[in-house]
Amino acid sequence: MDKDLWSYILKGIKTGPDMTQVKQSAEYTPPAAGMARARLVGYFELGKHEEENMQGKMVLRDKVDLVFELSGPNHQPRKLDDGTLIPHRVTVQETLDYSGCGNFSMLFAAMNAAHGDTATHTVELLGKPFIVEVFHRRSNDGKKVYANLKGPNGYRLYGTTVQDPATGKQCAVMVTAALTDPRAFIWDLANSAMWDSIHIPGEYEERADDKGEVISPARSKNVLQERIMSAENWPELAARLGVSPTS
């Protein structure tokens, strides 16, 4: 990876705002389905986790989260009373598979093609603009709706140069600058500063309905670190970072 790029990422981690500290509303409202403008603002390698494969066997696989901030006419940020703008963000969760036929490889290929096939690592695309399609899916009980960028036929992600249907000419779609500071956690390059940067103190409070029944239990805000700490290869990383594997 380019040393100047990595220096930029480390500078952002140490001095930039923490995208995980943004206030959240009590009720989650998914971003609108359909086409959206987007920028890649987060890339987090989460280590090896056990999951069931297509043959029904449990296997260890490297997992990764990619975070996109949405914008455009149908995805305007929400404005809090104090003037803070809260953008719509969608997290893509994938297996870190370099085989060429996996979802991650195909997503990276599409993202890279949108910017001239110049990147050799996903972090080189942090901050870059894209056109994406947002899909909705319902929870198993049908009560909640979640947004994702992967639909029935995979990801629909493109560059920002499109054909004007009226004139047939190519034109550029403008994507506003991201409100979220780009962040990354790269397993093999992780250091203590990067680890500390993704720690989120506190928890989301328990919520109950009018009858006093819990509809949302209390949960930790420290999602990324806890996911990484649950990885099978976390003890090895913890030793390299100089932190307790059980902290």
Summarised one tens digit per residue, pLDDT across range 70-116 is 999 999 999 888 888 999 999 999 999 887 778 999 999 999 999 99
Tell me, what's the pLDDT at 23? 40
Tell me, what's the pLDDT at 199? 84
Query: What's the pTM?
Result: 0.84
- For residue 163, give the amino acid letter: Q
Euclidean distance between CA atoms 210 and 143, whole angstroms: 18
127 domain residue, yes or no: yes
36 domain residue, yes or no: yes
Tell me, what's the pLDDT at 24? 41
Tell me, what's the pLDDT at 4? 63
Rounded (5°) CA angle 72-70-2: 120
First to last CA, the chain: 30
Q: Which of 64, 143, 148 is nearest to 104 (CA)?
A: 64
Sign of the dihedral through C-alpha 89, 92, 96, 100: negative
Distance of CA 149 to the CA centre of its chain: 11
138 domain residue, yes or no: yes
Domain total in the chain: 1
HSE, side-chain direction, 13 A CA sphere, residue 193:
11
The series of mean pLDDT values per 10 residues for the chain, 247 residues long, is 60 50 54 96 96 88 96 93 91 89 92 95 95 92 88 94 83 93 90 86 81 80 92 95 83
235 domain residue, yes or no: no
208 domain residue, yes or no: no
Q: Residue 202: left (phi > 0), alpha (psi -120 to 50), or beta? A: left
Q: Are strands 58-71 and 88-95 parallel, antiparallel or unpaired?
A: antiparallel
53 domain residue, yes or no: yes
240 domain residue, yes or no: no
Contact 215, 141 (CB under 8 A): no
Question: Residue 67's domain spans which residues?
Answer: 3-200
93 domain residue, yes or no: yes
